[in-house]
Amino acid sequence: METAVRRSRRTQLGRLLLSALTGAVVLTMLGGCNVFGFAGAMVDSYRRTSTRTVKPETDVLQGKTFAVLVSTDRSIEEQATGVTAMLLARITDRLSDPNSDVGTTGVVPAAQVLQYMYDNPGWRAKSMADLAADLGGVQRLVFVELTEFRDKEPMNPYLYDGVAAGTISVVEVDSQLADYFSFERSVLVKFPDEQGRRPDEIPEAAVRTELLRRFVDRATWPFYTHEEPYYPNY
């Protein structure tokens, strides 16, 4: 069923188009510009300040219990202490949100998974079945691998060039293909959007916080209906 928000946006867009066409016709009668070109420009202007509803790419987590595990290179964790724990907590919270249409039926708390990872440093070498059993017999394992996380250019500490990159993958433990990823997506986000920004303009903590937010968005958006800008900057 169409939501009130979507009906409102559709109505707003319809009014905008009608207004644009009316204005274009008047201009044309006066010897002005092309009707369709004018209307297209108005629609483009509307889209630059609006969002669109995007449906999930997969329902692999729907009706299933799950746990999220995050793998981060030691050098990244040393430079950005706590990034593993923050990613684990935020992605777990996002995918288990009862207000979304991910539709999961149970989740292993992030703190419990984090403790398990610390207590079992060799967890990456375990089989999927053993990992799932260790985490309470979950039906899905969500793996997040953070391969790059930096806030400045490698050879220039005076300018920001933030990048967060990695992958998110899902294993269907209760299927016959439990040793393979049934869903996998690469994630690459950047911040700031403008080049040449310096530490005296933006605090380093703010850059890292925004990189994490963007990474979590892009990593979790495939699993639930969400709003995206028509012209996203990440």
Q: pLDDT tens, 113-141?
A: 999 999 999 999 999 999 999 999 999 99
More confidently predicted of 176 and 106? 106
- Within this chain, do residues 119 and 11 fall inside the same structural domain, yes or no? no
Q: Check which CATH number belongs to the domain holding 107 and give it.
A: 3.40.50.10610
Question: Count of domains in the chain?
Answer: 2
Strand partners, 152: 160
- Within this chain, do residues 150 and 99 fall inside the same structural domain, yes or no? yes
Q: DSSP alpha helices (H): ranges in 30-167?
A: 35-48, 74-79, 83-95, 110-119, 128-134
> What's at 124, amino acid-wise?
R
- Within this chain, do residues 35 and 87 fall inside the same structural domain, yes or no? no
> What single-letter DSSP state applies at residue 221?
G
User: What pLDDT is attached to residue 41?
Assistant: 64
Q: Which residue has the tokens 């729907």?
A: 62
pLDDT one-digit tens code per residue, 45-100: 656 778 999 999 999 999 999 999 999 999 999 999 999 999 999 999 999 999 99
- Within this chain, do residues 35 and 114 fall inside the same structural domain, yes or no? no
Distances (CA, A) of 7 to 2, 10, 31, 227: 7, 5, 36, 15
Q: How far apart are CA 88 and CA 168, in angstroms?
A: 12
- Within this chain, do residues 186 and 210 fall inside the same structural domain, yes or no? yes
Q: Is residue 24 part of a domain?
A: yes
- Within this chain, do residues 131 and 38 fall inside the same structural domain, yes or no? no
Q: Is residue 149 part of a domain?
A: yes
- Within this chain, do residues 84 and 44 fall inside the same structural domain, yes or no? no
Q: Is residue 102 part of a domain?
A: yes
Considering the entire predicted model, what is its pTM?
A: 0.81
> What single-letter DSSP state applies at residue 223?
G
Furthest-apart CA atoms within the chain: distance in Å: 77
The 10 Å Cβ neighbour count of residue 178 is 15
- Within this chain, do residues 16 and 85 fall inside the same structural domain, yes or no? no
**CB 216, CB 110: distance < 8 Å:** no
User: What pLDDT is attached to residue 48?
Assistant: 74
pLDDT one-digit tens code per residue, 184-216: 999 999 999 998 899 999 999 999 999 999 999
**Kind of pairing between the strands at 156-172 and 106-107:** unpaired
Q: Is residue 55 part of a domain?
A: no
Strand partners, 146: 72, 166
Query: For a pLDDT cut of 70, what percent of the chain falls above it?
Result: 80
- Within this chain, do residues 36 and 85 fall inside the same structural domain, yes or no? no
- Within this chain, do residues 157 and 125 fall inside the same structural domain, yes or no? yes
- Within this chain, do residues 41 and 69 fall inside the same structural domain, yes or no? no
Q: How far apart are CA 30 and CA 109, in angstroms?
A: 66
Domain encompassing residue 168: 65-225
Q: Is residue 233 part of a domain?
A: no
User: What pLDDT is attached to residue 18?
Assistant: 47
User: What pLDDT is attached to residue 198?
Assistant: 93
User: What pLDDT is attached to residue 120?
Assistant: 97
User: What pLDDT is attached to residue 83?
Assistant: 97
Q: How far apart are CA 134 and CA 119, in angstroms?
A: 12
Q: Is residue 58 part of a domain?
A: no
- Within this chain, do residues 160 and 44 fall inside the same structural domain, yes or no? no
Q: Is residue 57 part of a domain?
A: no
Q: Which residue has the tokens 């420009």?
A: 41
Give the H or E element holding residue 153.
strand 140-153
